[in-house]
Amino acid sequence: MAALIPTLRPALLLRSPIRPKIKPTTIQCLRHASTKHPKNFTPPTQEDLEDLRERTIDFARREITHDVAQTTDHSNEFPNEMWKKLGSAGLLGVTADEEYGGLSMGYQAHCVILEELSRASGSIGLSYAAHSQLCVNQIMLNGNDEQKRKHLPGLVSGESIGALAMSEHSAGSDVVSMRMTAKERDGGYVLNGTKMWITNGPDADVVVVYAKTEPEAGSKGMTAFLVETKSAGFSVARKLDKLGMRGSNTGEIVFEDVFVPRENVLGEVNKGVRVLMEGLDLERLVLSAGPLGLMKAALDVTLPYVHERKQFGHPIASNQFIQGKLADMYTKYRASSAFTYSVARYIDEHHDELSDRESVGRIIKTQDCAGAILYAAERATECGLDAIQCLGGMGYMNEMAAGRIMRDAKLYEIGAGTSEVRRLVIGRAFNKEFGVK
């Protein structure tokens, strides 16, 4: 089936509109000035993004049918054959350089893909994001040439699976309290500790792992590593059974004297917080597209039902209470979508200014990225609940998608920083602007 799908990468790269008419020397200057976008990046036109959306929708209709989404949820198992299908369709490396098989596109494009995959299945969308944004994009942002050559082609093709491991039992939002250690040894580091709630953890081949190289230094003693899960001492303690996002395989992973060679340090030693924080804003931005897809999915299941289901001789959509819920669901989606894509568009269109560290905070605003996912996540849960209510008794049945959509949406109020932490982050960003600690 996957062979029948036109691959995104060749089609998009060969289409003339994808490359605005800019002199080659200007393109080179822009690329070498940017540190957040792939080589030869130029902001996509609206036509480019709509074409990408249609191709992603086509992929989802073929490969992530209602039955696939329901089975993924009910069995609590990600369909692992999906990785190579996503890779052959060109979806896994949207922000990766073309030389590694990527699309060399930006964050608007990444949001488009995640939105439409999440519309088909929240679980598959979440695992996709953990792979393509938390792992692939982190390597693109912080990896050296050797690390990119080694890991990106397999990750972009779907031959290998990626994950990111930061959270621990006692260190979720409180990163500084992380207990995993990395002690220096000849030629590298030895990692010991556990990581909890790791998306793709049970399946991953490559994991971006954060550990304390100087525990007494707090946030200034953390380092990021690229860990291959075939390494001796790495294991999956258990696969977790979750309320929602059930088909997105999540686990607790264990490191027992796992040796990581020095060349697998991602970024600089003791500068892991910089790696973490520079990727965190973009992570929140891209992940905010997941709730957008779930809101569209809620409308997809609700609109046909309320116009076909009759009570007292009329479709229930003629009931003003139902009309009010539909209006609220649609408005919440549109407002959330406008927020997310306006932030992503601004970052893409100002890519040439991101080499200047002082400009990064002005262009990639913490309060905007945190605000996008804060607003979208809460609205998605509300839309999921409204979908259940509109469907009435059928909405409470597991054969319908409404309950799955609501359960999946709730994760986005918890993962990638809880709603409470996002509000704290936004408040602190304003305090920083005004010089208040």
Residues with a known catalytic role: 283
Q: Name the pairing type of β-strands 265-266 and 222-228.
A: antiparallel
d(CA 180, CA 190): 10
Closest CA to 147 of 65, 224, 218, 64: 224
Q: Classify residue 363 as exposed, middle or buried by CB count within 10 Å of its CB (0-12, 13-18, 19+).
A: middle
Closest CA to 300 of 389, 393, 378, 402: 402
Encoded amino acid at 137, one letter: N
Closest CA to 199 of 164, 167, 166: 164
Encoded amino acid at 218, one letter: G
